[in-house]
A and B are shown apart, each in its own frame.
Chain A
Amino acid sequence: MRKLANIILGIIIALLVVWELPWLYNNYAVSFLHGDEIGGQPFTLYSGLADDFIQNTDGGQGRRGISGRDYTVEEADSLLPFFWTTQLVNAGRLPDTIRGYAVTPQLIRQTNINYHHRAYDSHSNRPNCGLWLLLESLPKRVNLEDPDDAFRFTEDGIEFVNMNTGKVKPKKSKLFTDALVKKGFAFPIHELDGNPDTRKEYDEGYLLIDNNRRMYHLKMTAGQPFVKKIDRVDETVVPKFIFVTEFRSRCLRGLMTDENNVLYVITPDYEVKPLGNDIHYDPTQSNMMIMGNMLDWTLRITTEEAEEFYAVSALDYSLLKTFIAPYRSNPYLPGLHFTETLDRWVKPRFN
Chain B
Amino acid sequence: MFYKEWIKTRWALLLILIVTCGYVGYELLNFLRAIGAMGGAHIWIAMIMKDEPMFVRHLQFIPLMAGVALACVQFFPEMYHKCLKLTLHLPCSHLRMMFEMLGFGLASLLVCFGLNYLILWLGMRPSLAPELYGKMLLVALPWYLAGLAAYLLSAWIILEGSWARRIFNLVVMFLCLKVFYLSSFPGAYVPFLPCLIVFVLACILLPWISIDRFKKGIE
Contacts and interface: CB of A to CB of B under 8 A. Distances in A.
Interface string A140-170: 0000001110101000000001011110000
A129 B192 contact: no
Contacts of A19: 175
Given A8-B206, A346-B182, A16 B175 contact: yes
A346 B189 contact: yes
A19 B49 CA distance: 33
A127 B48 CA distance: 12
B108 interface: no
Given A12-B176, A345-B191, A164 B182 contact: no
A131 B192 contact: no
B44 A16 contact: no
Nearest to B142: A346
Residue among B41, B49, B131, B206 with max Cβ neighbours from chain A (10 Å): B41
Contacts of A152: 129, 131
B206 to A, nearest CB: 6
B128 interface: yes
A166 B128 contact: yes
B35 to A, nearest CB: 10
Contacts of B126: 166
Contacts of A9: 172, 206, 209
Interface string A313-351: 000000000000000000000000011000011111000
B15 interface: no
A5 B188 contact: no
A16 B168 CA distance: 13
A164 B44 CA distance: 9
B114 interface: no
B198 to A, nearest CB: 10
B213 to A, nearest CB: 9
B183 A346 contact: yes
Which size class do B's interface residues fall under?
A: 35 or more
Contacts of B131: 129-131, 152
Contacts, number: 109
Contact of B205 (A8, A147, A196): A8
Contact of A127 (B128, B187, B205): B187
Contacts of B199: 12
A251 B155 CA distance: 64
Contacts of B44: 131, 150, 163
Q: Is the interface of A mostly helix, strand, loop or mixed?
A: loop
A4 interface: yes
Given A129-B131, A344-B183, A196 B49 contact: yes
A131 B40 contact: no
B186 interface: yes
B208 interface: yes
Nearest to A4: B205
A91 interface: no
A13 B176 CA distance: 9
B206 A344 contact: no
A284 B89 CA distance: 60
Interface string B45-78: 1011101000000000000000000000000000
Interface in A13-62: 13, 16, 19-20
B195 interface: yes
B148 to A, nearest CB: 15
Interface in B176-200: 176, 179, 182-183, 185-192, 195, 199
Nearest to B45: A146
B40 A163 contact: yes
Contacts of A197: 49
Contacts of B41: 146-148, 163-164
A323 B195 CA distance: 43
Interface in B140-194: 172, 175-176, 179, 182-183, 185-192
24 contacts: A2-B208, A5-B206, A5-B212, A9-B172, A16-B175, A126-B51, A127-B138, A129-B131, A130-B131, A131-B132, A146-B42, A150-B45, A152-B129, A166-B40, A166-B126, A166-B128, A196-B49, A344-B188, A345-B188, A345-B190, A345-B192, A346-B183, A346-B188, A348-B195
